[in-house]
Structure 1
Amino acid sequence: MPAEFMTLPDAGRFALVNATLPAVLVKGFAAPAKEGLIAADLIISDGKIERILPAATAPADLMKADMRGGMAWPCFVDMHTHLDKGHFWDRRPNPDGTFDGALMNVREDRIANWSAEDIRVRFEFSLKSAYAHGTKLIRTHLDSIPPQPDISFPLFAELREEWKDRIALQAVALLPLECVPDEAVFNGIVATTKRYGGLLGGATRILPDFEKILDTLFRAASDNGLDIDLHVDETEDKQVLTLEAIADAKLRNRFEGSVTVGHCCSLARQDDDTAKRVIGKVAETGISVVSLPMCNMYLQDRHANRTPRWRGVTLFHELTAAGVRTAVSSDNTRDPFYAYGDMDPVEVFREAVRILHLDHPLDTSARVVTSTPAEILGRPDIGVIAEGGPADLVLFSARRWSEFLSRPQADRIVMRNGMGIDRRLPDYRDLDPLLEK
């Protein structure tokens, strides 16, 4: 474990003093802000945030931990991941780094290796990493090509129960939309998804009768009380723009559930009039958008012996300005779709600031890995700092944005219920028995 910058008191009631908080994440307390950062003292009692006070006003008789201006954030939300896919790169790499290569290698590895035992080890490795980094809520997509749902969803339910006091878990059935017209197959996936409290999802692309497929998907979700979370337009091909069709389908079917879309890369390839029209529809329908900046930059515009010409990400600023709820997330981790990553929202945030230009100003940027994804996932109680809420915090030595964004913050302290956790990350050697197949 790296040397930590401070020591928390071993007490039921104490104060974190001289803390710097992202104002956008603080509820019920206001103070003068500089670059969206405010100074405060936090009174922690029996695992909860009892009071948020102006800096240097904590009661004199309380035991104190001096943050010396360091930042305190709420725990993170990673709203688009693939925990069933993670950590098998060494077993089945994607040598050319292309999207088609990723599809092929995942398919072959799934057929050969994805037993409940195999997925459990890799899934838990990701959870251990995420927990050590300070994550409290994760939504994962689960590959749902039959017979995989009957393996992955029961395992997910077991892990959701086992981890419920550490990380809240949600699951999306990532089904091939080609199967929707096959009633037996589609109805089976819907039934499994409903049984385990999941969401319906899939990766959209232009298919014959695409509008009919979307209508069937939306009706199934409505009839079964399910929300929808789709992979959308993960391509540089500007001829592919299914995002508009999804917005139209939500309106046409008067769907009242939540709809989230991820990627939306080809939106950035459109002319201004087309982009404005589509963004307007997304805002009108209340669809939320999550960008996956690290994976999108890795896969998009990748061609052999050629430098990429564009960043691969969606029109994040334009969507946000139109009133669309926007967030960023990890996506894949050490698998054929993305060879790297560690389920660390600080890394995701730092890279998103660079890739998406979420800086200058940075006043509200902290929301993209905390409060906004929590709201999208229906958990507005997570990702904020509020009196009466749990003292689930991530503490940093960094005092200002330049300090925060210039280092990986490896010396952070993660607090759960007012106590520091063991932040040791799992050892990659734990995966060796799986990868030697």
Structure 2
Amino acid sequence: MPSAPLRTSPQAAAASRDRGDACPGALRLHSAHDGALARVRVPGGVLGLRQARALGDAARELGDGELHLTSRGNVQLRGLADTCGADLAAALTAAGLLPSPAHERVRNVVASPLSGLDGAGLRDVRPWLVALDAALCASDAARELSGRFLFALDDGRADVAGLGADVTLRATADGGALLGLGAGGEALRVSGEDAPRAALIAAETFLEVARTSGTNAWRVRELALSEGALLDRVRDALSAGGVDCARQPLDPVGAARVPAPGVTGDTLAVHAPLGRLTAPQWRELTSVAAGSPLGELRLTPWRGVVVPVPGLDSAGASQALGRLGATGLVTDADSPWLRVGACIGRPGCAKSLADVRADAARALPEATPGGLPLYWSGCARRCGHPPGDRIDAVAVADGGYRLSAAGPGRDDGGAVALDDPARLEAALAAITP
């Protein structure tokens, strides 16, 4: 079937890129105010013990000793020496964390963290994860994806389907999958067996459209296409590749069902305040994982860690959770830390206007229970902010912060000033919903 001509859409957040993506990786270090920064992609957030220990060793021997979790379940190492690149690459390669140096920045895949562990999903997406990662690393075309392009594999529980991924696979009750693109309202139904290959074909089609349109866009939302035009192109590419597919409406996704800290069945879950994991915390996490038959950790896109512990009785699970809590990790499902995030701020970022992490910690008792997530940013770039509705606290040049409700379809017309983080509660109450 011939492809329909591309049509522009006034609603599209189009962008024309005249340069390559400078997103950092494990081999392309970023120069930050506190030293070099490496971003290690961890598809699906899944780490074996050898990989987890290698990351901890690299942080201790080459960086500031800490691991910093990202909103995609990846890991950043900070405070690195500019000359450590070869040593870091060797350590990550030996641990199996760099299966393809040419693809290391494009292995951005989030997956339902509890998939296959608690019986709540429609399928275990781990086979999809393994197959998609292998297909990505084998694709010459995929090397050109931006380091910002994101895949999401949702096992049907609707936890990662709302993270704004460029290509999303949602498991269906009949064993199939729905392939969605960006925030579009339609999807392509494919078989569960074809799902990983379909996701790769969708990404490769996006690259071709971005190239031929002259935009060289990095994300699906940056393509100025009418609704469904990219989906038509992907449908044609899937058919040409022998993948059966059919269009259907895509149900909207509500709030993400984030794994709550605590013991749930055969899993332990904890949250890392502001995504920061100290060396003692990481050692305790790997120690708990070492006592499990699976011997793995799963990093979540909400800056948490899930440890599968099948076979561990309730007493043993409670004891292990207590050990993790003693290191400062959040084990309480009602902790206000679950709603609070921040960029790195000062002194790590030269562009930051404030020590946002210290201010976030100081204002924690004032965070309104049950309200919107609160994200502290050192400048107007709002690096690392979560998708969806939230409250933005953005540092301003003359000191203090500007608070506003943010998210899809919102503007900050009801913004208020915050001159002292200790007065956060009153400022939150004054924000226009």
- In the superposition, the TM-score normalised over structure 1's length comes to 0.23
Relative contact order higher in (CA < 8 Å, ≥ 6 apart):
1
